[in-house]
Amino acid sequence: MKIDVLSLFPDMFTGVFEQSILKKAKEKGVASYKVTNFRDFADNKHNKVDDYPYGGGAGMVLMPQPIFDAVDSLKQQVAPEAKPPRIILMTPQGDRYTQRHAEELAKEDHLIFLCGHYEGYDERIREQLVTDELSIGDYVLTGGELAAMVIIDSVVRLLPGALGNDVSAVTDSFSSGLLEHPQYTRPANFRGFKVPDVLLSGNHAKIEEWRKAESLRRTRERRPDLLEAYKEKPE
Ligand code: ADE
């Protein structure tokens, strides 16, 4: 998967792409990342990327020209017969991001993330350029960069070959629609706190039964909304 990011603060991404699973995915050829500063595409003398809103009011608005030109340039770098990219605008006004979005995006070949900072976006960017608008939650960040990192992380780990053990991506919380059951490791008795006997029993059917029950109990206690959705559509 090819992942492009358009941002005025490209350095924010360096640590994230160079660590852990995202780094390994790049080394294995599963994903590639490129961050482009769309200020480099501004066609005015001072490399301005934003301007005052028509009609007045506070704040600045990102102009369409640098962003449209930056996206055109990214599109030209892939073969013309390639599947068109998903162009994803990061905004608190977007669709609230969930694991379902991650699974859907993981099927694509090319993602372009558009990150604004402080400013609003000229509406023509929304109307004519982007394919998706996503929000990572009902709070306002100073920019879309952190939100794009969250989404990229959650998508890349789903790509075949990204995780050492493919099973873990499909069995973890949310993929099943339920929260994960409790996990324990050695020692069996830590400061007098014991691991449940069933997990030491070696009886795999009983262990599976216990895990399913715990998963349901935890979801009921912590996320009854997920449990309702699961009951309507069990996987
Ligand atoms: N930009 C600012 N806040 C955001 C949010 N919650 N999600 C996505 N992009 C954002």
Question: Which domains are seen in the chain, by residue range?
Answer: 2-156 (3.40.1280.10), 173-229 (1.10.1270.20)
Q: Residue 86's closest CA among 100, 75, 98, 97?
A: 75
Strand partners of residue 134: 95
Ligand 1 and 92: CB distance under 6 A = yes
Contact assessment for residue 121 and residue 62, using Cβ atoms and an 8 Å cutoff = yes
pTM score of the predicted model: 0.93
Which residues form the catalytic set? 92, 119, 157, 172
- SS3 state at 72: helix
What's the pLDDT at 171? 59
Residues 21, 162: contact at Cβ < 8 Å?
Answer: yes
C-alpha dihedral (96, 102, 104, 107), degrees to nearest 10:
150
| CA atoms within 13 A of residue 112's CA, in its CB half-sphere | 23
Task: Output the pLDDT for position 69.
Answer: 98
Residue of 111, 112, 103, 110 whose CA lies nearest to 159: 103
- pLDDT < 50 stretches in the chain: none
CB 87 within 8 A of CB 71: yes
Cα 208 to averaged position of ligand 1 atoms, centre (Å)? 39
Closest CA to 8 of 43, 65, 47: 47
Beta strands in 158-223 (DSSP E): 189-190, 193-194
User: How many Å apart are CA 176 and CA 163, to the nearest integer?
Assistant: 18
Distance, CA of 19 to CA of 34 (rounded, Å): 15
| 50-51 sheet: strands from edge to edge | 50-51, 61-62, 120-121
Closest listed residue to residue 7, CA positions, set 102, 76, 89, 127: 89
* Separation CA 44–CA 66 (nearest Å): 10
pLDDT at 118: 75
Q: How many angstroms is it from 151 CA to the middle of ligand 1?
A: 11
Q: How far apart are CA 58 and CA 56, in angstroms?
A: 7
| Most ligand 1 atoms within 8 A of CB, residue of 132, 140, 142 to mutate | 140
pLDDT reported for residue 165: 67
188 half-sphere exposure, CB direction, 13 A CA radius:
6
Q: Is 88 in the pocket of ligand 1 (CB under 6 A)?
A: no
